[in-house]
Amino acid sequence: MSKKTQETASGPIPLTRVQRIGSQTRHLLENWFLRTCFPGSLIRKKYAAFQHLRAGDRRALELIAQLEEIRQKNSPCDIEYIRHVLGLLDYEIQALIEALVRFNPVKYALLRNYHRKYAFYAHMALAEDNPKIDPPFVLGLDQELSESLAGGKAAPLSRLIRDFGIPVPAGMVMTTRAFYRLLEANDLTAWIQRQLARIGPGNHSEINEISQALQFAVTEAQVPPELEREFLSGIKRLGIENSPLALRSSAVGEDLQASFAGQFKSCLNVGLENWFEAYKQVAASKYSPHAIHYRMRQGFTDQMTPMAVLVMPTIAAKISGILYTRDPHQPEMAVSYMVLGSGEKLADGGQYQGRADFDRQSSRVRRVAPRDFLGPDTLENLFALGMKLEDAAGQVPQDVEWLLDASGKLHILQSRPLGMPAADEPDIQPDYPESAVLITGQWVSSGQTAGRVYKLNDLKFLSDIPDQAVLVTDELPPELTLVLNRVRAVVAEKGCPACHFASVAREAGIPVICNARGAADTLENQQDVSIDGNFGKVLAGTFFRAKPGKTASGAPETLVIQKLAAALKYISPLTLPNSESHDFTIGSCQSLHDIVRYVHEAGVREMFSLVGRRGLDRYGAKRLESGLPLVMHVLDVHKGLCPEAAGQKSVALKHIESRPMQQLFAGLGSPAVQWNSGILHYDWDAYYKSSADFVDVEKSTLFSSYAIVDREYLHALLRFGYHFAVLDSVQGTVPEQNYIHFSFKGGGGSPEQRDMRIYLIQTILEHFGFVVHTTADLLEAAFDRKSMDDTGTGLVVLGIVLGKTVMLDMRLENQQQIQTLARQIIQETHDIFSVQEKR
């Protein structure tokens, strides 16, 4: 019987003491066997693991950067996408650790625990409670309802009925638990999460395709029997089983936390036999393209906005309207826009047929147009109801949907907070030249901006709208929500300031004008215009700076971004000390980023500890005859040398096929570098301290520089007398994977002279775009994510700098000399590249 694995707070203890000894013994025996019998196989096996480390390290860092960018830019995206990226990062780090463990199974086993620990904390920061799918599935509007169960539309209506006696039609609500039960019963929950995980900051173009799939899946769902039983029971309790039904959305967050105006579907005149099909249509509208986009823009997760559905009898409307208890454009007034019959078209951005204005101070109707559209008594009652609704909401202005039935009774269908513009809007209209005013329309949303006209003739072409356009359209349908982050303003030939899109546009800070008659005929595509949304003016030319609406990066952090920020505490901090420090240990890792860095540094050490001074011969390194006074050996691990070099003990530069090696030696051997052929460069310090007794130092690997190469990779340790340089580089066709990492240390001069040489090298490398960090006489430089050609240029520059600064520290005297030398070397390097370009 196997012994049960011991657990710690961070996970299972990787190995017992006996297991560690056994594993270490197997590891040593395997390495000894391969070193002795198949040294080439060992180096290639370790190099394959190192290659995986290099590639995985890049991918992991890119994923960390991706998450950090989302947070920094406050980018709208679905939290499922963030969880997906974290899952990919989790996988990459796990693979990195396993690759490192192949070097030494015992030494690095504890990394698995630290990875599990910080990955767990990061996932927990993004986690949400599992939704409840147990009853109640149906509740009456006459009951006390919470937003979490009844949604943002039904819960306030229940309060208006119970506490304030507002004339709201009798009804009930299919709760959010009914919605989750529907998804669970049809195995949709996990599938929906996978679809939403595809929506990242850069791929909003896929929303239409994803939305179509999600809505289809919901509308094809089968009704759970318990939902049907509770629904029918609720309908009978209300006594409306013989009435046509109205089913309206009431998502959590709708109308309360954000407007969600016009984002969801309503179904009217629904027969009892068709209730479930209508319910599914309303539920599926949660996943319409504009609803998904709006939810992400507001920073809600899908689980934060479950769909409850309000069920009422459909009341035949004689007149319908939308009342603003405080006109956003004239705060001292209230205003109602009206149409005959149902108000659906009005709410969706269509044209209004009547308007009434109410003076809030005198409590009198000031204007009705047309005069006989609605009687004065009814208007007085309507505005009195509006003031009562505002009082019930704690003096918060309200956006109210209402209807008048055939008997003359008013019904309130919805009341939600009205978003008001900033109080610093101008009261006096600017005196524009008459010739500059192209169109005068009606205010919908305030602001001033400029841009180029784009005329939209069909909603199916929304994706074609160019960024920063002034959009000209016929009406103001909710679908325009999809492009609010891409347009500077919207001008509509028809529409209503009280439509659903108007609320969303004001939230976004986008200037909008409606009833701009003749806009489509007067304005031309690509025409430069200015928009004064405050006064409904479209002007020729540029009168204002091209100011976009509220940008995501400038807005407060959304709830999704706050959750990401909490997760990033365990992902992105880099707290490990320098790799040479005694504290550079597994136990010092405090984030996933720390683990990635530790694995990278440990992998480099493990890889190149295989190639000790005595190991170069064993692994098949070849002496390089470069024509330069430099003792060097080359170890090819994959296509770094041409096939003709196979079997030879020495190779020339013509045999090198490693791109970065070629570029380095193009610099070392350039005309700008004058080598003293009488001075042979190897590790002089080690040579004089050793007891070796031989004559031919040129053929020995003991004090030699060396390079490990493949076609796109170079790791070189260059020994120039008393100083050395380490170079690690990838030069391939993918810029994101290319890099040059360079370090330089030592010398034969005084400490002050070595510091002066470091400053000289720093000045030159920074001129050519390297990022340089120095500590005493240690210089570290990086040149990352460049094209293959630019990376090659960086390697040539390094070769020239190395060649020009050999033994230079012993001749340096002052800062003026350094500045002169830096200018000289920079100019000579530019001259070399100029000659190459002419060729």
Q: Provide block-wise average pLDDT over 10 residues at a time, the chain (839 residues).
A: 41 53 56 49 67 81 88 88 95 92 85 95 96 95 94 93 93 97 97 94 82 96 96 95 94 66 82 96 93 88 95 94 90 92 83 91 89 90 94 92 94 87 62 89 90 91 90 90 88 86 82 92 94 91 71 68 95 82 89 91 72 54 91 88 90 96 96 88 69 61 81 88 84 87 84 89 95 86 92 96 87 88 93 65
Alpha carbons 231 and 244: distance in angstroms, whole number: 15
- Looking at the DSSP assignment, which residues form a beta bridge with residue 451? 529
Closest listed residue to residue 574, CA positions, set 555, 556, 588: 588
Is the peptide bond between 136 and the residue preceding it cis, with omega within 30 degrees of 0?
A: yes
Rg (CA), the chain: 36
DSSP conformation class of 174: E
Cβ partners under 8 Å of residue 444, min gap 6: 476, 490, 492, 495, 497, 502, 505, 506, 512, 513, 514, 533
**Tally of CB atoms within 10 A around 118:** 22
DSSP conformation class of 429: -
Q: Three-state SS for 304?
A: helix
At 503 the pLDDT is 78
Q: Which residues of 779-790 are buried (b: 16+ CB within 10 A; e: fewer)?
A: bbbbbbebebee
Alpha carbons 332 and 122: distance in angstroms, whole number: 50
At 2 the pLDDT is 43
At 67 the pLDDT is 92
At 680 the pLDDT is 86
**Under 8 Å between Cβ of 78 and 85:** no
At 690 the pLDDT is 65
At 693 the pLDDT is 56
pTM > 0.85: yes or no: no
Helices marked H in 675-750 — which ranges?
684-689
At 13 the pLDDT is 47
Structure tokens at 454: 């784009």
**Tally of CB atoms within 10 A around 618:** 17
Closest listed residue to residue 300, CA positions, set 553, 560, 125, 561: 560
Cβ partners under 8 Å of residue 432, min gap 6: 532, 537, 539, 543
